[in-house]
Amino acid sequence: MKHDLSQKLFAEAQKLIPGGVNSPVRAFRGVGGEPFFVLRGKGSRIWDVDENEYIDYVGSWGPLILGHAPASVVKAVTETARDGMSFGIPNPHEIRLAKLVREAFPSIQKVRFVSSGTEAVMSAIRLARGFTGRDMILKFEGCYHGHGDSMLVKAGSGALTLGQPDSAGVPADLAKLTLTVPFNDRVAVESMIAVHRNEIAAVIVEPIPANAGLYLPKPGFLEFLRKITAAHNIVLIFDEVISGFRVAKGGVQELCGVRPDLTCLGKIIGGGLPVGAFGGHAHIMDQLAPLGPVYQAGTLSGNPLAMAAGVATLEALFGDADLYKKLNTITAELAVGVAAAAKEVGVGIAQNRIGSIFCNFFCEEPVTDYASAKRSDTKRYAKFFHAMLERGVYLAPSQFEVGFVSTAHTAADIEQTIRTAKEAFRMV
Ligand SMILES: *Cc1c(COP(=O)(O)O)cnc(C)c1O
Which amino acid residue places its CA nearest to atom 13 of ligand 1?
A: 241
Q: How do residues 195-217 score in pLDDT, each as one tens digit?
A: 999 999 999 999 999 998 999 99
8 A C-beta contact, residue 148 and residue 121 = yes
Bridge-based pairing state of the strands 164-165 and 153-154: antiparallel
Q: In this structure, are residues 253 and 108 in contact, taking their beta carbons and an 8 Å threshold?
A: no
> Residue with the nearest Cα to atom 14 of ligand 1?
241
Atom of ligand 1 minimally distant from the CA of 117: 5
Q: Say if ligand 1 is within 6 A of residue 124 CB.
A: no
Of 194, 271, 197, 208, residue with least CA distance to 238: 208
Answer yes or no: are the C-beta atoms of 374 and 398 closer than 8 Å.
Answer: no
Residue 47 predicted with pLDDT over 90 = yes
214 lines ligand 1 (CB under 6 A): no
CATH class of 4-69+321-427: alpha beta
CA dihedral of residues 244, 250, 252, 253 (deg, nearest 10): 130
- Assess contact for 178 and 139: CB atoms under 8 A: yes
User: From CA 228, how far away is CA 77, in angstroms rounded?
Assistant: 43
In this predicted structure, what is the pLDDT of residue 49?
98
Written as one letter, the residue type at 180 is T
* Strands 235-239 and 200-205, bridge-based pairing: parallel
CATH architecture assigned to 71-318: 3-Layer(aba) Sandwich (3.40)
- Per-residue pLDDT of 372-382, as tens digits, reads 988 999 999 99
Q: What is the mean pLDDT of the chain?
A: 95
Residue extents of the structural domains in the chain: 4-69+321-427, 71-318
Minimal CA–CA distance to 268: which of 404, 140, 144? 404
- pTM for this predicted structure: 0.96
